Structure 1
Amino acid sequence: MFYSLEGKALENFLGAMKLDFHKHLVYPTNISSECSVCSNSEQIEGAKASESGENGVTCKSNESQKGGKSGKGGESIESGENSETGQRRGSGKSAKASESLESIAGAESSKNGESGENGKSGKGGESTESIAGGESNDSSESIAGGESGKGGESRYICKPCNLYAHKDCVEINNPYHHKHPLKLLEFDIVLDFGKTCRLCGEKVERLFYHCFLCDITLCRLCPSIPLVIDDVPKKVHEHSLTQVMIKVSFTCDACGICSDGFPCVCLPCCFIIHRDCTKLPRVIHVNRHDHRVSHTYSLCIGDWGCGVCRKGIDRVYGAYSCSICRYAVHSKCATRTDVWDGVELEDIPEDENEDIDPYEVISEGVIRHFLHEHDLRLIIEKDGNVSYCYACTLPIYCDPCYACMECRFVLHEACAKLRKKLRHELQSHQLILCLNPRPGQAFKDGYFSCDACHRRCTGFCYKYKRIELDIRCAQVSKTFNHGSHPHPLFSISTAFKKCTGCGRSDKPVMSCIECVFDLCFYCATLPVEARHKYDCHPLSLCYGENAKGLYWCEICERELNPKEWFYTCNDYGSTLHVNCVLGDYLHVRPGHSFKYNDNEVEVVANDHPTRPSCSLHSREWRCVHPFVFKRKVNNTISSMCDYYFRFC
């Protein structure tokens, strides 16, 4: 006989209940699926009230197994004494199910066991329906097959949310992990965004545990982690460690940081450590140092400073140090994602024969650079014959340089000695020196944008994947001394800061650790000395003056703020804007060509008697910037102001 159940009656019949941690009604079930809390598909300790047998048969506890062994089709298997038919003894409908049916359909439950008409009962011991005891049946599966008993439902299910949870995961009463009960909560219910786990420090996800008495939050996985750590690596500690579930203030022996938390301790050794510090790597490479550094629990006698944050190191606590030179880093600073590349090097031998020389000496004064196919000869440019270095793109006046014996390729002597590989503060991985964009490529591929100074460049670059630095910014590393400030500058932060030189907010910047002074890479790499066709003397970079009166730029004939940086001639006293002297394409080499709209465009110096019209102002103005672009269209050559390409 079938009955129609709807609404509250159906929910009551299926055992629906409202729990604190979820917004929908949940139902007891014995369906085996991955628990949304502990991520375990098996029943956890204490929840194994039943085990699944063959053909979907569910085992019951000993007290409810006196009625016999039930098969899926409704037939019971004789397995004990005094087995009789199910029609004589009956299985008995549960009281709960009978009351629900009477309230909906007005029918009485059958005392002769309607659900057992086709079955036989015995004493054997496995049954999904309480035959002798008449226990209540809460499972939704018992409607069709009458197979499930109360003891077999060890999980909650919410189908709309695809949520499965062990009953024992909903609330944890384990003094070993915490002295108060830990209740399962959900973000959608408590709206408690921003909480972090007090054990692992990670931001909690959708489901988490909380103790309202202590105001302690744990992620859903930490309560299942053993508190006794038996597999501690020997490099960390020689004994097992035990995590103390009492919040205390302590200083970690591995990282030297004093914090409030739940430490791991070894009482015989008086050893205390953060749990996450047990996973610190032993030997690593940091981007501030050329040698490997290894973790140690104490440094030798002396004053130590961190090579990353530049603050002092307490030598009695753990840190990373170099075995070749006097260099040390805080444990937490060394393992930052912007400092360490994430590679453990303890069992990896170091390549002592790594080739980092950029060229091979062919003969005296003749070399073969690894980025050029021809031999280069050392020469000194004559005065008046200006060439542009293919590496840094800056002019070569009377400096020694290496010039190609077969083409126009030329390098400063210092640029020819640039290392193949180097480490830089702006990238945790090692950077490799690469060739500049080749001439004739499309406009977007004919240059690269430096990730430090944000200039467009066509010279050599140090590169790792999508990170590209021009060679001048790549040399600004470690301790940097600049003429605008008396103290050394360091790259210690990747946050936006206001540059003292140009006044713009930028990142990354070089900062002073003794006073408030920040310098962006654009200003840090400005040439200290420059030349311009308006003045035959060298121009010196001035870092601002506290002077009264009006200053005028000799190039654009506009007012100049003396408190800002500008170029000046020490012989004639002329003043010039920085941008008027250098332009927007300081690192675009004259002579470099690219394609734009299928037309060949070449960068040329704007030092000819006839200058192109300025695209910024009007056709009556002539472009005053040091570089212009020469375009060839159908054998017709025309020049364009560089402003035309600024926003391309």
Structure 2
Amino acid sequence: MDSLEHPLLSPLLCPAFRSEYFRFSYKHIEYLHDRDLSFIKINLPYYFPNAKDNKSFLSAYIDHGHCLYPLYWCNNKESRHESSCGACECTEIGTTYYFCDKCKQPYHKECVESPPLIKSPHHPKHNLQLITPQRTAHPGDDSKIIYCSYCDANYKYNPLKLLYYCFICNFGLDPVCATKPSFMNYHKRHEHTLNHFPRKTDLICDVCGVSDSNYIIYVCLQCDFVVHKKCIHLPFVIRISRHDHRLSFNYSLPKILSCGVCRQKVDDNYGNYSCIKDCKYVVHSKCATRIDVWDGKELEEEPEEENEDLNSFEVIGDGIIKHCSHSHHMMSEKKATNIVYDDKNPCQACLLPFSGGGVYICMKSNCDFVLHEACANLPRTKQHIAYPHPFILQVNDTNYCFFCGYCDRLSYGFRYVCSKGGESISIDVQCAAISEPFDHQCHTHPLFLSNELGKNRSCSICGKEKLLTLNCMECGFFLCFYCATLPYKVRYEYDEHFLTLSYKENVSLSWCEVCEETLDSNKWIYTCNECGATFHIKCLLGNCATYVKPAQNLLFDGDRFNIIPSNRLTRPICNDCGRRCQDKQMFEVYDDDDQKRLYCFHHFEVDDG
């Protein structure tokens, strides 16, 4: 307690004890059930009860581990407490709060001094009852979670959380929000005082353009201005993942445009974000501030950052470079007009074969390090359309295997890594190259990443449910990142021609040259336009889909292993599934006893669910 200035003992009860008193006495506790939710109705006051109840009450209080007066009133003007409030879990504690010796937790003054029943200006029609949520009938169903209608904090099962709730209107407020005033002044958003509109109604917010009665609404009757409470403090200048320039908030547009995120019409009667460079790019307010689009930073008073063009190599001479992934050797540019198709020594970055175009080849005679010209020019940092934070190119750990966060494909080539936003994501260079609009050789219309937040779509090619899909706005075609990055042109060892990716009407009913099973014309296949040979994708490319090649001393999840070709006359048996592996490659792993074990790709495959 060294950081607290002159703490005073308080005759108030700890909120944790009020929430758990039902373990010792049912006198002040009542169970309630609503919409498959279970609540404990707290009728226990926030101060010590009268004298006749003190004996039994104090016994329960001591059994709970609390001393007589465990709460201290704290007024620490020099620093804020680092912990969140133990009752509402809000991280904004401030400099005045209560502190419990038993719980070692700070508590808001409002959370401690919360009477069982209140009347709030945010919900004047009914009284609000103090409750603590219990387990739901369906714990995995997020639709049963209740929220604070003011700050939008969710109240999943937590036996210590306090909430004021109206069971008639399904309206909730945490103890701090319940004491907020019914008016607000924020002149950056609107010049007049905004007053809370207490009734639930479908009024369109002038800032986000959405009608949603689940949110608290503020109005200015003088100007006929309506705004959701959550929209009042929306940023004024932002940067999003879908556009190269900053966007600024405005209430009107010179002409009707489509949203750069959802691709739907933007109504110029409501707020939106448009490009500050006047490049005719506009986004709905709701779409621009999605957690998968915006990084959460307000840039209104921040200086414009200079775009750093960080190359991955140093130019040594005419056509000669030193690449950051291969600094001990010089590499020379070679226009590979004489290279028809080389899958023996693929590119070190994307692990794809060469089929014409420019390459960089190591000048040292005994080194086979090569790069596509495009892969050699990969930028050090990259902003991807599917994530609000920038990615950093990783090239020095190419013996490290990873699953791409977008296509779920195993790879050990170059990767882009981002550790911001509360999670670490690695993506391969093929997925990193996808941008909007995405043009695929097998589809006539451009594709856009216009997914609704949190909504799965079925890929039109593989049929798998994915959160990230590239969508056609004209014909309802959806393409997952795995199928979008399949190579369009490949070679088969027993066919002298190129095979191309084909879909639906481009192929007639036939059979696969490898497994000899009938092909489904509704799924993509590889076909030879010269001789008519057709192949399943996995039969031709394998489960790894050409993103790995035979290699030694690879690392995955702390284990070292080798990737070996499965080209013997007799197919090896997988030590995991006990069947002969039909894939083109296998994983060779050594256990603690130095015994060699072979596994097929499915042993390492990421769970699609």
TM over 0.5: yes
* Aligned residue number for residue 359 of structure 2: 401
Q: Which of the numbers 543, 557, 560 marks the counterpart of 2:519?
A: 560
TM-score normalised by structure 2 residue count? 0.70
Q: Which of the numbers 561, 569, 573 marks the counterpart of 2:528?
A: 569
* Aligned residue number for residue 456 of structure 2: 496
Q: Are residue 452 (structure 1) and residue 366 (structure 2) matched?
A: no
CA-to-aligned-CA distance 1:69-117 (integer Å, 9 cap, x gap): xxxxxxxxxxxxxxxxxxxxxxxxxxxxxxxxxxxxxxxxxxxxxxxxx
CA-to-aligned-CA distance 1:241-268 (integer Å, 9 cap, x gap): 2223233432222111123354223344
CA-to-aligned-CA distance 1:461-518 (integer Å, 9 cap, x gap): 1111221111111122322222333332222225333221122333422222333322
Residues 138/166 of structure 1: CA separation in 2 closer, same or farther (3 Å cut) = farther
Distance apart, 1:531 and its partner CA: 0.4
CA-to-aligned-CA distance 1:258-305 (integer Å, 9 cap, x gap): 233542233444432111112212222211112221222222x11221
* Aligned residue number for residue 54 of structure 2: 140
Distance apart, 1:616 and its partner CA: 6.4
Counterpart secondary structure, 2:432: helix
Q: Are residue 224 (structure 1) and residue 179 (structure 2) matched?
A: yes
Distance apart, 1:533 and its partner CA: 0.7
Q: Which of the numbers 397, 407, 410 marks the counterpart of 1:437?
A: 397
Residues 182/642 of structure 1: CA separation in 2 closer, same or farther (3 Å cut) = closer
Distance apart, 1:588 and its partner CA: 3.9
In structure 2, distance between residues paired with 1:337 and 1:379:
44
CA-to-aligned-CA distance 1:617-642 (integer Å, 9 cap, x gap): 9xxx9987555678999xxxx99786
* Aligned residue number for residue 478 of structure 1: 436
Q: Are residue 467 (structure 1) and residue 425 (structure 2) matched?
A: yes
Q: Which of the numbers 290, 305, 309 marks the counterpart of 1:351?
A: 305
Residues 215/341 of structure 1: CA separation in 2 closer, same or farther (3 Å cut) = closer
Distance apart, 1:370 and its partner CA: 3.2
Give the counterpart letter for 1:229 in structure 2: M
Give the counterpart letter for 1:257 in structure 2: V
CA-to-aligned-CA distance 1:177-229 (integer Å, 9 cap, x gap): 51443343454699996444444444457543345666644443322011222
In structure 1, distance between residues paired with 2:466 and 2:168:
46
Distance apart, 1:600 and its partner CA: 7.1
* Aligned residue number for residue 377 of structure 1: 332
In structure 1, distance between residues paired with 2:316 and 2:358:
18
* Aligned residue number for residue 601 of structure 1: 562
Higher Rg: 1
Q: Are residue 330 (structure 1) and residue 278 (structure 2) matched?
A: no
Counterpart secondary structure, 1:401: strand
Distance apart, 1:410 and its partner CA: 1.2
The answer to whether the Cα contact below 8 Å between 1:613 and 1:641 also exists between their aligned partners in 2 is no
TM-score normalised by structure 1 residue count? 0.66
* Aligned residue number for residue 120 of structure 1: none
Q: Which runs of 5+ in 1 are unaligned?
A: 1-15, 32-135, 145-158, 440-445
In structure 2, distance between residues paired with 1:450 and 1:175:
50
Distance apart, 1:558 and its partner CA: 3.3
Q: Are residue 170 (structure 1) and residue 129 (structure 2) matched?
A: no
1:139-158 matches, cutoff 5 A? 140=54
CA-to-aligned-CA distance 1:324-351 (integer Å, 9 cap, x gap): 2221111111111111122222232222
Counterpart secondary structure, 2:244: coil
RMSD: 4.2
Give the counterpart letter for 2:477 in structure 1: F
Give the counterpart letter for 1:322 in structure 2: C
Give the counterpart letter for 2:331 in structure 1: L
Residues 542/639 of structure 1: CA separation in 2 closer, same or farther (3 Å cut) = farther
CA-to-aligned-CA distance 1:341-399 (integer Å, 9 cap, x gap): 22222232222152333333332212233333133211134447833111111111432
* Aligned residue number for residue 285 of structure 1: 239
Distance apart, 1:537 and its partner CA: 0.8
Q: Are residue 519 (structure 1) and residue 479 (structure 2) matched?
A: yes
Residues 183/429 of structure 1: CA separation in 2 closer, same or farther (3 Å cut) = same
Residues 639/208 of structure 1: CA separation in 2 closer, same or farther (3 Å cut) = closer
Residues 614/380 of structure 1: CA separation in 2 closer, same or farther (3 Å cut) = farther
* Aligned residue number for residue 10 of structure 2: none
Identity of aligned residues (%): 37
Residues 509/599 of structure 1: CA separation in 2 closer, same or farther (3 Å cut) = closer
The answer to whether the Cα contact below 8 Å between 1:17 and 1:27 also exists between their aligned partners in 2 is no
Q: Are residue 241 (structure 1) and residue 194 (structure 2) matched?
A: yes
* Aligned residue number for residue 537 of structure 2: 578
Residues 459/512 of structure 1: CA separation in 2 closer, same or farther (3 Å cut) = same
In structure 2, distance between residues paired with 1:576 and 1:557:
9
Distance apart, 1:604 and its partner CA: 5.5
Give the counterpart letter for 1:140 in structure 2: N
Give the counterpart letter for 1:552 in structure 2: W
In structure 2, distance between residues paired with 1:186 and 1:642:
50
Give the counterpart letter for 2:261 in structure 1: V
